[in-house]
Amino acid sequence: MSALPIVYRGYVNPWDCDEMSHMNVQFHVAKASEAFSGLLASMGVSRDDRAAVRVARHRIRFLKEMHVSDLVAIHGGVTRIAEGGMEAVLEVRNGHGDLCVAVDVGAEGPLPASAELVAAGPDAPGLPEGAEGEGTLEAAAAFEETIRNVVQAAHCDPDGGLAPRGVMARFSEAQGHLWAMLDAPRAWQRSQYLATATLEYRIRYGARPKAGSIVRLLTSVAAASAKTIRFRHWLFDAETGEMAAAAAGAALFLDRASRKAVPLPDRVAAAAAKLIAR
């Protein structure tokens, strides 16, 4: 069990899960966002000031699947605080106490000058800092558009700006397009008794389009190994060209029966090589 205090309690509802039968990444982020508010409240940050704090960065590592009816407890602590900014860690655990998702948060805004700090864990292997890349339209010439839609109020913070959950909702939808780019559409995956899973995201947030804005998501394949695909999702306000979020991600294929990782299928490796070479 975690030594950190609980800042959120919840439950995995059926509507939190996707076609893979586990909790979708956007709902992990939605619950983590509530947990971060709970952490701020435990520090004495008022409701008005909490509304003014903005998440600038996320590192999210998915370690264990969560399923319908799982209990959710999120533990949190502050690892660093300075004038106008802080870093925190959130541990998403199931009812058995298993660590399912680890979330590192970087935030800015009206924060206390000091706080009781917890020790940051060792830097876990995975995507390096800055892996998300520039996040500019000029650098996205070889990317493919995967999402173009309207920002809904349900995906916004109380001030009307796009929330991290709304960003992740678009990343989640874009994964189907990513696998199609890699010659592995969902229907083919099912025919091969395969599924996919995201391992990690590093996200840098920028502009916050308001409800009603048009946004577009551009996607590229950055690298491939024997079992993993590394990709980038860059989200822009389609009307202003401002970057709303730049993300790097890592994902792999699973055997549907065993839920174990398998090597990249040959057709996926071949498609990845062509996309990386662009």
Inter-helix orientation angle 25-42/164-181, to 10°: 160
Identify the domain boundary among 124, 148, 177.
124
Average pLDDT over residues 180-192: 97
Tally of structural domains, the chain? 2
97 plus 176 within the same structural domain: no
What is the span of the domain harbouring residue 232? 126-278
55 plus 157 within the same structural domain: no
Q: How far apart are CA 41 and CA 49, in angstroms?
A: 10
pTM above 0.85, yes or no: yes
143 plus 260 within the same structural domain: yes
Average pLDDT of the chain is 96
Q: How far apart are CA 138 and CA 178, in angstroms?
A: 21
76 plus 148 within the same structural domain: no
Q: What is the pLDDT of residues 246-262, one digit of tens each?
A: 999 999 999 999 989 99
Identify the domain boundary among 104, 124, 144.
124
pLDDT score of 61 more than 80: yes
Q: What is the pLDDT of residues 93-120, one digit of tens each?
A: 999 999 999 999 999 999 998 899 998 8
110 plus 143 within the same structural domain: no
pLDDT score of 1 more than 80: no
pLDDT > 70: percent of the chain: 100
160 plus 101 within the same structural domain: no
Average pLDDT over residues 78-102: 95
- Coil, strand or helix: which one is 8? strand
Pairing label, strands 85-93, 71-82: antiparallel
- Coil, strand or helix: which one is 199? strand
- What single-letter DSSP state applies at residue 5? P
Burial class of residue 154 in the structure, from the number of CB atoms within 10 Å of its CB (0-12 exposed, 13-18 middle, 19+ buried): exposed
pLDDT score of 75 more than 80: yes
156 plus 38 within the same structural domain: no
Q: What is the pLDDT of residues 17-37, one digit of tens each?
A: 988 788 999 999 999 999 999
138 plus 252 within the same structural domain: yes
Identify the domain boundary among 124, 151, 170.
124
Q: Which runs of E-coded beta strand occur in 38-183? A: 54-62, 71-82, 85-93, 99-108, 144-150
132 plus 224 within the same structural domain: yes
196 plus 174 within the same structural domain: yes
Helix residue spans in 95-185 (DSSP H): 164-181
In this prediction, residue 21 carries a pLDDT of 81
Pairing label, strands 228-237, 144-150: unpaired
The amino acid sitting at 69 is S
40 plus 61 within the same structural domain: yes
Q: What is the CATH number of the domain that holds 47?
A: 3.10.129.10
Q: How far apart are CA 163 and CA 101, in angstroms?
A: 19
272 plus 228 within the same structural domain: yes
pLDDT score of 213 more than 90: yes
